[in-house]
Amino acid sequence: MTQIGLRDRKKVRTRRVIEDVALRLFAEQGFDATTIDQIVSEAEVSPRTFFRYFATKEDVVLADYSEQLDDILEDLSSRPFQETPWESMRAVFRTMASDPGRRSKMLPRAQMMANAPSVFARSLQLQAGWEIQLATALRARSGDKTDEISPALMAAAALGIMRAAIRRWSEQANDIDLPEFVDECFDRLNKGFGS
């Protein structure tokens, strides 16, 4: 009567092992200095198996990045409809920045991205995908169906804010309260930069 079969349990276990070993090695010797061979030999799987779980070496670092977008979209859809799209986004991103579990993963990841250009590049690529989906979601919420470009601008601006805020925060994490800082950035951008 096992709901989840042994096969699926093994899958998540293998994935976890690879992820744990890889992240540990990355932390110990750096991302670039760590090879797939090293990871798989410590994780006791074949190189081929690694790529069945992760499309690229970079994706191990950014494993939970995709889930993050799902959370954003879900939170967004549960915001009250009378709210403006911008306000909804501000609230969603503020909430996200407040989650301690999420924040604890953010710092090491930010550090890794700063030292490994390929990881940084991959994260930008993923975020570009988010931007499109986010814009689509905003467009669906918007009252003005003829305005095609504002949602795109809002999505681009929001993600740009998050990047800038997280970068600044990761450089001096002690001095800054991330949720408030994000809030302030959203506010400042919405007030414009003078005409």
Smallest gap from residue 131 Cβ to DNA (A) = 22
Q: How far is CA 22 from CA 34, 37, 40, in A?
A: 8, 11, 9
User: Which of residues 45 and 176 has its CB atom nearest to DNA in the complex?
Assistant: 45
Please name which of 55, 60, 167 lies closest in space to residue 107, comparing C-alpha atoms. Answer: 167
Question: Which residues 124-153 are close enough to bind DNA by CB under 7 A?
Answer: none
Among 58, 88, 130, 135, contact with DNA (rule: CB under 7 A): 58
Which SS3 state, helix, strand or coil, does residue 153 take?
helix
- The position carrying tokens 């994935």 is 15
What is the Cα gyration radius of the chain? Answer: 19
Residue 108 tokens, joined: 């090491």
Smallest gap from residue 193 Cβ to DNA (A) = 38
The whole-angstrom distance between residue 24's C-alpha and the CA centroid of its chain comes to: 20
Asked if 37 is part of the footprint of DNA (rule: CB under 7 A), the reply reads: yes
Asked if 30 is part of the footprint of DNA (rule: CB under 7 A), the reply reads: no
Asked if 41 is part of the footprint of DNA (rule: CB under 7 A), the reply reads: no
User: Which of residues 24 and 167 has its CB atom nearest to its own copies in the complex?
Assistant: 167
Smallest gap from residue 36 Cβ to DNA (A) = 4
Which SS3 state, helix, strand or coil, does residue 85 take?
helix
User: Which of residues 37 and 177 has its CB atom nearest to its own copies in the complex?
Assistant: 177
Residue 18 tokens, joined: 């690879």
Q: What angle do CA 38, 40, 45 make, to 5 degrees?
A: 155
**Residues in the chain, total:** 195
By a kind-dependent CB cut-off of 5 to 8 A, residue 5 interacts, out of DNA, its own copies, none, with DNA
Smallest gap from residue 17 Cβ to DNA (A) = 10
Asked if 20 is part of the footprint of DNA (rule: CB under 7 A), the reply reads: no
**Which residues bind to DNA, rule: CB under 7 A?**
5-8, 10-11, 14, 34-37, 44-49, 51-52, 55-58
